[in-house]
Structure 1
Amino acid sequence: MIRLHHVQYGRSFRVLWLLEEIGIDHFGGLEISEYQIGTPAMREGDLPRLSPGVRIPAIEWDGLEMAESGAIIEYLVESEAPELGRGVGNPERAAYLQWIHFAETMASLIENLNLQMVFLRPPAKPSPIVVKLTVARLRQTLGGMEARMGDSPWLLEGGFSAADIMMGFNLFAAPYYVDLAEFPKLQAYKARMEARPAFQRSVEREGPQRFYQQDFYPVPES
């Protein structure tokens, strides 16, 4: 049985979705250890041993212990589901790796906005200048994706891949800060993700999200 150290709708959602795409039975079942960010539980138990930064996701499976969503995705795809990757020699490999890692460029901006807009509590206040700049950078990354989507339904012309799974977390979270109406191709891309049965099973496991308290977070006034 594979054990996933998880925060609801965090980066570990990528791993959960991948496990559903491959098939939970392939791993002998799934055990989820769920945490809430900022609680002492994250520094208790096994997570500090598995993750150098004491962050999710982390996995344990058949002697394998790993942290970092991108690393877990790449490893499990290469070892258990090569059809979801682009191996050495594949003409799409460079683009595949670029999208895998671009997902973290975008996710780091979302994380910054989460810290500013969700985690800060009165009397602390988010910085309007920092939020404005970060939203602009997030919008720029979304615009770059929009411009490169072309006519393919997925990031790669060869079809659905783990690069799309890496983006799933981003396109769930980004609309809390940037209106996706600006990006019709990304809206359609997000809808295709949400239509996948494995994605739907992952969302069913997650339940209603409990992190964001409002549908959209505008840049705070100065």
Structure 2
Amino acid sequence: MIRLHHAHQTRSMRTLWLLEELGVEYELVVHPFGKNLRSSDYLRLNPSGRVPALEIDEGCMFETAAITGYLCELFPDTALGRAPGDPERRDWLVWVSFAETISQHTAALTQQHIALYEDEMRSPIVMKLEAARLGKCYAALEGRLQGREYLLDGGFSAADISCGQAVYMSRHFARTDPFPAVEAWYGRITDRPAFKASLPPRNERLYPREFYPVPEMQNG
């Protein structure tokens, strides 16, 4: 039995996309983004009160990179992972983990734009810095994707899922237009049926808007 605890437009989307690519049976439990994740029942699944939580093999996992590694090892025939000894193993680990670098900046911007309701609580300086840091992440992906269709020479993998989902989220705050290789790669991976299956219904999105620009800073 595989049961994924998920909230729309959060890191758990990464695991949902991966499960769809793996083509395995699973149960999806969708939680609203909010205080119910702090309930005692849920904290027994994920003590940080976040998603994902993946019930599997009579236990429970959290942290998307760990879940990604475990699922890819559990279903090796899908070729979405790179096993120990594979020459691409090192790069696979790097790019699966790089998704979290992208996501931490997106999380800061989500707090600024979404979680803080009053304008005086928000910081245009923080927004500008974090959006610029996302640009640095895009530049790293752009460099990696020169001459490649995917992040690894061996083809599409969970590294593309991890970073692709992170970019899906980050594009709400920093555009990828200046990075043609990233744009082409992103279009390629998000055209996959498994990605489309992981998308939230429009009326259940965490981000009501497609893009949140950095507000102008007031002088004086």
TM-score by length of 1: 0.91
* 1:34 positional shift: 1.6
| 1:7-33 deviation digits (Å, cap 9, x = unpaired) | 1021111111111111133xxxx2222
Q: For residue 13 of structure 2, what is the amino acid of its counterpart?
A: F
Is 1:207 aligned with 2:201? yes
Whether the 8 Å contact between 2:65 and 2:96 is mirrored in structure 1 is: yes
In the other structure, the counterpart of 2:163 is: 167
Equivalent residue in structure 1 for 2:69, among 74, 84, 108: 74
**Residue 130 (structure 1) aligns with:** 126
Aligned-partner residue type, residue 43 of structure 2:
P
Matched-pair contact (CA < 8 Å) for 2:102–2:167: no
Render the CA deviation track for 1:46-105: whole Å, top value 9, x for unaligned: 320121211100111230310111111111111223521111111111111110111101
**C-alpha spacing 1:45/1:52, structure 2 compared with 1 (3 Å):** closer
Report whether the alignment pairs 1:33 with 2:29. Answer: yes
Say whether the 8 Å CA contact 1:4–1:57 is kept in structure 2.
Answer: yes
1:123 offset after TM fit, Å?
5.3
Alpha-carbon shift at residue 45 of structure 1 (Å): 5.5
Which residue of structure 1 aligns with residue 9 of structure 2?
9
Shift of 1:165: 1.0
Q: Following TM superposition, by how much is the alpha carbon of 1:175 offset from its aligned partner in structure 2, in angstroms?
A: 1.6
Which residue of structure 2 lines up, in the alignment, with residue 197 of structure 1?
193
Structure 1 residue 42, shift from structure 2 partner: 1.0
1:52 corresponding residue in structure 2: 47
Secondary structure, counterpart of 1:24 in structure 2: coil
2:99 aligns to what? Answer: 103
Q: What does residue 145 of structure 1 align with?
A: 141
Could you tell me the percent identity over the aligned residues? 41
Give yes or no for contact 1:110–1:174 (8 Å, CA) kept in 2. Answer: yes
Structure 1 contact 154–160 (Cα < 8 Å) conserved: yes
Q: Distance in 1 between matches of 2:119 and 2:131?
A: 23
**C-alpha separation between the residues in 1 aligned to 2:119 and 2:107?**
21
TM-score, scaled to structure 2: 0.91
- Which deviates more, 68-77 or 173-182? 173-182
- The one-letter amino acid paired with 2:198 is S
Q: What SS does the corresponding residue of 1:153 show, helix, strand or coil?
A: coil
* Count of equivalent residues: 215
Contact 1:22–1:81 at 8 Å: present in 2 too? Answer: no
Letter in 2 for 1:207: P
Q: Secondary structure at the match of 1:3?
A: strand
SS at match of 1:215: coil
